[in-house]
Amino acid sequence: MFKKKKSGIRKIGHPDRALSYFKPEKKVLLLIAIGGTGFNGGMIAGPYFEGRLAQCLYDCIQGQATSMDMLRLAGVYLSVIFFVQVMRTLKRFSGARLRNDLSRNMRHMLYNGIVHMSRDEVERESTGAMMTKAVADVDASATGMQQVTTEIFDTGVLLSSYLAMLFVYDWKLTLLSCLFIPAAYAIALSLKGPVTKINEKFKQTAGRLNQETMDRVNNAITYRVYGREQDRDESYEKILTEYEKDAVVSNLWGNATGPVYNTIAMSGILFIIWFGGKNVLGRGWTVWDIGVFTTYVSCFTKFAQKVSMSARMFNQMQRALVSWRRIKPLFREYVELPRPDKNAVVDQIVARDVTVYYPRSEPVLWGISFEAFKGQVIGVTGAVACGKTALAKAFIGDASYEGTLQLDGRELRWMDDVEKSGLIAYMGHEPELMSDSVRENILLGETADTAPLLKMVHMDEEVGLMPEGEETYVGSGGQQLSGGQQARISLARTLCHSRNIMILDDPFSAVDQKTEREIFAELKRLAKDRIVLLFSHRLALFPETDGVLYLHDGTGIFGTHSQLLKENAEYASLYETQQAGGAAVER
């Protein structure tokens, strides 16, 4: 029936370790190594040829060289620079590719971690904070990891090349002029704490702003109807102002420190001008000509600039480390789960003295007992907030239980998620539609004909009238559809992915009685070789069920509809009240 679409997910072993993300990128890292070594090693050609050209120009003026000598030297210089720029292009392209690959793989693993979060973990994370982590923090972490990689060459190879060149020309002057370099790194190291603290605060504010933005958009109608738009706008403006303030401070510490580091690193130029001038005049530690002096000054200037950049980069990496620490707890080992057995069969459900509860909460239900057999539709009902949804979620592991809940003699709690998904199909009382087409909301990535499914839930004519039919987008959360349409599409999705046990939580909550009866007839037909647990507050169809579980005061009583009418006054009163209301509506 289905043709499964291929997945492009790349699995990363030990996803909470940064080094794990570099292992699949060996080819890209090799290109970075080649480009970085060629580019940074060749950068010393700039100062060298600048000095030789200056000396050649001086010799031309003195009549000791010709214009052809200058042209040949310039030609060699241009050839070397061309090679250096080719290596630079290779390095930058590979670096960008590495950053994109790291970001993609981290997002895959973060997605894997988020979808496998427990209920407790989900409740502790606000949507705004989750969005900030999934977008901004992943990008910041990937950029930081890429910068660390390229810094090995930009700092290690390049600074070593410059320093070696300086030592060749005058090692004493080099030691003297580099006295200020450690000060730049010391200041960068001392700012580690403030940079980390400020960036952590900025990330938290960004999460709050995202959360406030989503709240303002999702609840816009409610705020307008109750005249609270101005209050919400003022609240949003307050958080936006705080975000802008924290962003300015964060960027200030991250970017404004560059000139400070550069000034400190360049302080050694004073020694070079003084002692280098003596070298040119023949009264220093060594003898220089104009070309050597020009080369030395150019080389030291580039060396100092690179030192200031690497010191600034250190602070930027601290910001990336903050982002990594925020997303690290969300990473989980990717496990290749086997496909559920969609043809698995269950003949019997047995519940004995079941207590249902949510984590860290008091029991919602207790003493629940019932039996259901293949071919039966069991109705579950009760007053509002009686625990119907909690009991339904116990079957899919979203609520915990104690006692006995067995499928063909096997305890449900000991089954893993894969086995459950092969046995149980679940429709919650909230449709949970995606911002996608009607078709995709039903198929969830599979390939099949949706026409029979839409017809089963009596949605085929309405979908046919939509602008693009089943390819019509339903909007965020299905907001372009009515409540009844949302519920029926959700039901069609459940029927599309039907299993031997069907858990349907309020599938008729937003449809009229005529449509309810027509859909129920389809469910009865479907239930011939399945077990259907129908959770509903509407009892009009319960006389046609094979059994009823009535929930009241935290517990439940099980029997046929006729038995409960005779033996339970509360159930009888609820049913008669609804029947009277339904008759009045029909008249």
pLDDT tens, position by position, 499-509: 899 999 888 87
User: Does 526 fall in a domain?
Assistant: yes
pLDDT range class, residue 285, cuts 50, 70, 90 = confident
- Residue 496: which region, alpha, beta or left (left: phi > 0; alpha: psi -120 to 50)? alpha
Residue 3 clears pLDDT 70, i.e. is over it? no
Residues 322 and 355 in one domain: no
- Answer yes or no: do 576 and 513 share one domain: yes
Residues 66 and 173 in one domain: yes
Number of domains in the chain: 2
Model pLDDT, residue 4: 39
Same domain, 403 and 434: yes
Residues 292 and 404 in one domain: no
Last residue of a domain, one of 278, 297, 330: 330
Domain closes at, from 277, 300, 330? 330
Residue 387 sits in the same domain as residue 429 = yes
Give the model's pLDDT for residue 2: 35
Q: What is the band of 479 on the pLDDT scale with cuts at 50, 70, 90?
A: confident
Label the pairing between strands 363-373 and 410-411: unpaired
Whether residue 307 is found in the same domain as residue 382: no
State the average pLDDT over residues 544-564.
94
| Domain co-membership, 202 together with 126 | yes
Edge to edge, the sheet with strand 400-407 lists 363-373, 348-357, 400-407, 410-411
Q: Which residue has the higher pLDDT, 226 or 555?
A: 555
Condensed to tens digits (0 to 9), the pLDDT of residues 81-126 reads 888 888 888 888 888 888 888 888 888 888 777 777 666 666 666 6
Q: Is residue 103 part of a domain?
A: yes
Same domain flag for 370 and 301: no
The answer to whether position 8 is within a domain reads: no
Measure the CA–CA gap between 28 and 120, rounded to whole angstroms: 39
* Residue 145 domain flag: yes
To the nearest whole percent, how much of the chain has pLDDT over 90?
Answer: 17
Q: Let me know whether 109 and 257 are in one domain.
A: yes
Model confidence band, residue 1 (pLDDT cutoffs 50, 70, 90): very low
Interior/surface letters 556-585, b for 16+ CB within 10 angstroms, e for the rest: bbbbebeebbeebeebeebbeeeeeeeeee
Average of per-residue pLDDT across 396-411: 92
Q: Tell me, yes or no, whether 473 lies in a domain.
A: yes
CATH code (residue 322): 1.20.1560.10
Q: Does residue 291 surpass a pLDDT of 90?
A: no
Task: Pick 287 or 6 by higher pLDDT.
Answer: 287
Distance between CA atoms of residues 48 and 40, nearest Å: 14
Mean pLDDT, the chain, integer: 81
Tens of pLDDT, residue by residue over 186-213, are: 776 676 677 677 777 777 787 777 777 7
Nearest Cα neighbor of 15 from 109, 89, 102 is 109
**Residue 587's pLDDT is what?**
39
Listed residues 330, 356, 386: the one ending a domain: 330
Does some domain include residue 7? no
Continuous segment of H or E residues that includes residue 577: helix 569-586
Residues 289 and 153 in one domain: yes
Same domain, 172 and 291: yes
CATH number at residue 469: 3.40.50.300
The string of pLDDT tens digits covering residues 410-464 is: 999 998 888 888 899 999 888 888 888 899 999 888 888 889 889 888 888 888 9
Distance CA 171, CA 168 (A): 7
- List, in sequence order, every residue forming a beta bridge with 479; answer none if it has no partner: none
**Mean predicted confidence (pLDDT) in 283-292:** 81
Distance CA 231, CA 302 (A): 55
Domain enclosing residue 414, as ranges: 348-586
